[in-house]
Structure 1
Amino acid sequence: MKARNPIIIANWKLNGDIDLLCKSVASFIRKYFKADVVVCPPYIYLREMLSFLQYSSVAIGSQNVSKFESGAYTGETSAQMLKEAGCKYCLIGHSERRSMFRENNQSCNIKVKSALDSELKPVLCIGENAEERDAGVTRDVLFRQLSEGLEGIEFNGDDILVAYEPVWAIGTGNAASADNAEEVHCFIRKEIKALFGRDVAEKVRILYGGSVNKTNAALLLEQKNIDGLLVGGASLDPSHFMEICQVADQFSQKTE
């Protein structure tokens, strides 16, 4: 069992339809997991998922959140709106948001603060791309993303999660090896300790994301510093995702 309860987060991205929603609900309805399980569907399905899964242990999260609280910002959704809709978590700074929508460390910082103010749990995503990895600057990139993304924030360890997702592994089928992922997670935890203290570093949950599937889930979760998984493509197959959640249960400290 792990000292920090494992968490599995499904990120559907811009995928899914009513058929997927129904199959996912059928898999999870009235289901209890010892691990924490979160599903982040497209915005349009948030209400349906929340309604159908209200008696399960599955929580609902958002794939993004606006840095604005209100105003003339067409297409934006605020942290308070997400909270009122029933979300408990929100992804912030996913690599696709950074690369395609010019998200940066400063905007992530604003979003983390906004999420906390609305009592959402932000999942700050950090990770290097292939060029940065090949140049040997992975740790420099991660430190900047972490320190600037959390600058000026009171962090107690339970209220924010960090997800390490090497950009070169996302959607490629080439996940980081368990040993390599653990090495990076250990580095991230040490930097959190330097920035926020030992107590925070021991409590914060750090997830791995990047071509996660049922085959490598156990290898990743058995690592000391990997506390959960951010699952992309494999989460679009409800039975596959269920198997990943069941693997995570084996590492949980909770009892039914």
Structure 2
Amino acid sequence: MKQRAPLVVANWKLNGGTDLMCASVASFVKKRFKAAIGIAPPYVYISDMVSFLRNSNIMVGSQNVSKFASGAFTGETSAQMLKEVGCGFCLIGHSERRQVFLENDASCHTKIERALAAGLMPILCVGENSQQHELGLTHDILYRQLHQALDGVSLQGQRLCIAYEPVWAIGTGKAASAAQVQEVHEYIRQELGAILGAGVAGQVDILYGGSVKKDNAAELLAMPNVDGLLVGGASLDPDHFAEICAIANELAPHQEAQ
């Protein structure tokens, strides 16, 4: 049995609306979880989601955060603003942000520091694309992403998560095998030890994201270095996502809900 409860995070991306919020909240009514559950809706729904879930132990977070603290940056939202409206975490460096909006490891580093300074839990997303995967460059890509984003970062007791999301598996239905995921997560843990120190690295949750569904959730969560899941498409079906959360709940240590 793992010492920490699994963390399951829903990333709605540019999807959803009031109907999805209401259906999602309804699927969690009167439920308390030993597993840690988080939902990252689009920006405009964050405040409503925080309000709807105020009597639950479900976290609400952001899909992104600005690398700027304030200033003339139209369309940006700072870490402090997110914290003030009730966010507990933020995704940083999601593959779609890297590919579509050309975000890089340097900006991820700045965003992580902004998030930590505001009291948000950063979830740094890392992973290789299909070409890099086929060329056997997975470790090289992860090494660069982890070191450039985290070198010099001081957690000072704050929580950090890493989400491994192989780009070739996102939205393709081609989830990595549990054995593949375990091997990569073990490598990530090793590099976190080199960057942050072994003691700190052991406290970092490493999530898997990439075509996660209720059918593979249990097998993935059973892997020693898989501490949770980042769920994309399946989180847009409230009943499906609730089933994934129930699976995580069953695998959580038997203790009071967090």
Q: TM-score range by the shorter chain?
A: over 0.9
How do residues 161-200 of structure 1 correspond to structure 2 at under 5 angstroms?
161-200=161-200
Which TM-score applies when normalising by structure 1? 0.98
Tell me if structure 2 keeps the 8 A contact 1:127–1:164. Answer: yes
User: Counterpart amino acid of 2:212?
Assistant: V
User: Counterpart amino acid of 1:244?
Assistant: I
CA distance in 1, matches of 2:107, 2:233: 26
CA distance in 1, matches of 2:203, 2:252: 15
Tell me if structure 1 keeps the 8 A contact 2:150–2:195. Answer: no
Residue number in structure 2 paired with 1:45? 45
Tell me if structure 2 keeps the 8 A contact 1:89–1:123. Answer: yes
Where structure 2 has 5 or more consecutive residues not aligned to the other structure, the ranges are none
**Residue-by-residue CA offset, 1:121-165 (whole Å, 9 max, x unaligned):** 000000000011111111010011001011210135751100000
CA distance in 1, matches of 2:210, 2:142: 15
How do residues 11-160 of structure 1 correspond to structure 2 at under 5 angstroms?
11-155=11-155, 159-160=159-160
CA distance in 2, matches of 1:88, 1:52: 15
Kindly state the Cα deviation for residue 178 of structure 1 after the two structures are TM-superposed.
0.4
User: Counterpart amino acid of 1:207?
Assistant: L
**Residues 157 and 6 of structure 1, relative CA distance in 2, 3 Å threshold:** farther
CA distance in 2, matches of 1:255, 1:52: 23
Q: Which runs of 4+ in 1 moved over 4 A?
A: none
CA distance in 2, matches of 1:39, 1:14: 13
Residue number in structure 1 paired with 2:219? 219
Tell me if structure 1 keeps the 8 A contact 2:62–2:91. Answer: yes
* SS of structure 1 residue aligned to 2:97: helix
CA distance in 1, matches of 2:126, 2:236: 23
Kindly state the Cα deviation for residue 4 of structure 1 after the two structures are TM-superposed.
2.6
Kindly state the Cα deviation for residue 174 of structure 1 after the two structures are TM-superposed.
0.6
CA distance in 2, matches of 1:97, 1:202: 27
**Residues 112 and 28 of structure 1, relative CA distance in 2, 3 Å threshold:** same
Where structure 1 has 5 or more consecutive residues not aligned to the other structure, the ranges are none
Tell me if structure 1 keeps the 8 A contact 2:211–2:233. Answer: yes
Residue range with higher mean Cα deviation, 200-209 or 117-126: 200-209
Which TM-score applies when normalising by structure 2? 0.97
- The two structures, once aligned, show a CA RMSD in angstroms of 1.1
Tell me if structure 1 keeps the 8 A contact 2:66–2:111. Answer: yes
